[in-house]
Amino acid sequence: MPRQTKQTAKDHAADTDTAAVARLRAFGLRPTRQRRELAGLLFDGCDRHVTAESLHDEATHAGARVSLATVYNTLHQFTEAGLLRQIVVDAARSYFDTNVGDHQHFFHEEDGLLIDIPSQTIAVSNVPAPPEGLAVDRVDVVVRVKRA
């Protein structure tokens, strides 16, 4: 297996880490071990929806030692930096989405599952002007779904 034509798992991990470091630096965050590991899990190319607990579990299973408190802090730092978007669909827990672009969600309450709806799909029209002194920040659409 020639070194030049196929990466080893180790190479891939290293690349993922390099990408994470670059991304963190670009967003003004120190690339600490914990942030690199969490970023490696979150920004793997797919759009992802996580809760603090799900990400902590995933990190733990992946062998990354990160405390739950740090996961919470990191999710908020990433959100503040613009790497993540927080989504409110369930009073019980906070979800974070790696897709920070303009899009909406299906939410399956029974399973606590979020599914992206591409931005171009849904159209919201005739949003009235907000009350005096207020400006529209964002329009969130949540399509709540149930087992048929």
Partner DNA sequence: GTGTTTGCAAAGTGTTTGCAATTTA
Partner DNA sequence: TAAATTGCAAACACTTTGCAAACAC
73 class by beta-carbon count within 10 Å (0-12 exposed, 13-18 middle, 19+ buried): middle
Do residues 36 and 24 lie in contact, with contact meaning Cβ atoms separated by under 8 Å?
yes
User: At its nearest, how many Å lie between DNA and the CB of residue 67?
Assistant: 3
Distance between CA atoms of residues 59 and 86, nearest Å: 19
**CA dist 131 → 37, 39, 127, 134 (Å):** 44, 40, 12, 6
Distance between CA atoms of residues 105 and 119, nearest Å: 10
Nearer to DNA, 53 or 102 (CB): 53
Q: Which does 19 bind (CB under 5 to 8 A by kind): its own copies, DNA, none?
A: none
Nearer to DNA, 13 or 122 (CB): 13
Nearer to DNA, 12 or 65 (CB): 65
Q: Does residue 133 bind its own copies (CB under 8 A)?
A: yes
Residue in 68, 81, 87, 100 binding DNA, rule: CB under 7 A: 68
Distance between CA atoms of residues 48 and 132, nearest Å: 37
The residues in 80-119 that bind its own copies, with binding defined as CB under 8 A, are 88-91, 93-94, 106, 108-109, 115, 117
Q: Does residue 113 bind DNA (CB under 7 A)?
A: no
Distance between CA atoms of residues 6 and 12, nearest Å: 10
Q: Does residue 42 bind DNA (CB under 7 A)?
A: no
The residues in 12-31 that bind DNA, with binding defined as CB under 7 A, are 29-31
Do residues 20 and 40 lie in contact, with contact meaning Cβ atoms separated by under 8 Å?
yes
User: At its nearest, how many Å lie between its own copies and the CB of residue 24?
Assistant: 26
Q: Which does 72 bind (CB under 5 to 8 A by kind): its own copies, DNA, none?
A: DNA
